Amino acid sequence: MSSVYRGRFAPSPTGPLHFGSMLAAVGSYLQAKSRKGRWLVRIEDIDPPREVPGAAQHQLETLARFGLQPDEAPLYQSASAAQHRAALTRLLETGAAFRCGCSRRDLPASGVYPGTCRDGLPPGRRARSIRFRINDQPEHFVDRIHGAQCVDLARECGDFVIRRADGLIAYQLAVVVDDIASGITEVVRGADLLDSSARQQALYRALGAAPPQWVHLPLVVDRSGAKLSKSDNSDPVAAGSPATTLRQLLSALGHPPPPEAGSLDRLWRWAIENWNLARVPREPIKVPQR
């Protein structure tokens, strides 16, 4: 793994960035810059049915208005299709993945895959998806905010899909392949993806790569306690006054800026100098009133 810190922000182009998206962007940026590292932006555009035309460009423009400039040209996940397919082939050839003929209606109510096609497709069934073959050992990892984690994938999900029935590469595999290719040393993202880390760590090992460190920032919820979502029309982040909104974001991350840090540039300088993960809360944060 690279000795130079490399982090990233990886939104899906399903709508404008909301307060929760920007919290992840700001947190990942500060974690990289406070370590004199590099910060990348990757647009995760491999699910065309969910994409909103123009959303990716709008997201990049929003980041720029806040002074969030990546250290390398923005990446697009769709450009890595060949690498995704190569990883899928490798997993099949090594026996770490298998073809599955089950549909969602074939799964129990729990949603945990029972291993129906693990040892081969049952007679009369054709392959629909490809699943990653988990082992019977729990996955252990340490999140730098939430602490030690132990996940029994056999109980949580069973063998999980890495290529969907519609032929699209699933998020879990695509994100691992792309983070390996980019040399990402630490993944900083929202706590809604904490439970993905165990699956992704297993994929890292199967692909012969060392997993990154993990940081999951607090979830941002609306006044009713529901998670904000780009695809569910959550309010876009207020970009008309970036300094005001950045002040709110930093406060939500446990770093309320002093009054003298008034401009956008001063806020960023102060935040980079004072960033400390120990001050970031674990509990969900309610989106501030506009």
Instruction: Name all domains of the chain by residue range, CATH numbers in brackets.
Output: 6-78+183-200+213-286 (3.40.50.620), 82-163 (3.90.800.10)
Low-confidence ranges of the chain (pLDDT < 70): 1-2, 224, 229-234, 289-290
**Which residues, in sequence order, are CB contacts of 250 under 8 Å at separation 6+?**
26, 256, 257, 267, 271
Task: Return the pLDDT at 283.
Answer: 94
Task: Return the pLDDT at 236.
Answer: 84
Task: Return the pLDDT at 229.
Answer: 63
Q: What is the CA radius of gyration of the chain?
A: 20
Task: Return the pLDDT at 290.
Answer: 60
**Number of helices (H) and strands (E), helices first, in the chain?**
8, 12
Report the predicted TM-score, pTM, of the whole model to 2 decimal places: 0.93
User: Given the structure tokens 């008309």, which residue do they identify?
Assistant: 240
Task: Return the pLDDT at 107.
Answer: 87
Task: Return the pLDDT at 230.
Answer: 57
Q: Which two tokens stand for residue 110?
A: 């729990």
Distances (CA, A) of 290 to 144, 171, 245, 287: 31, 33, 9, 9
Task: Return the pLDDT at 258.
Answer: 95
Q: Which two tokens stand for residue 256?
A: 């309320």
Nearest CA to 144 out of 95, 216, 76, 85 is that of 216
Task: Return the pLDDT at 263.
Answer: 94
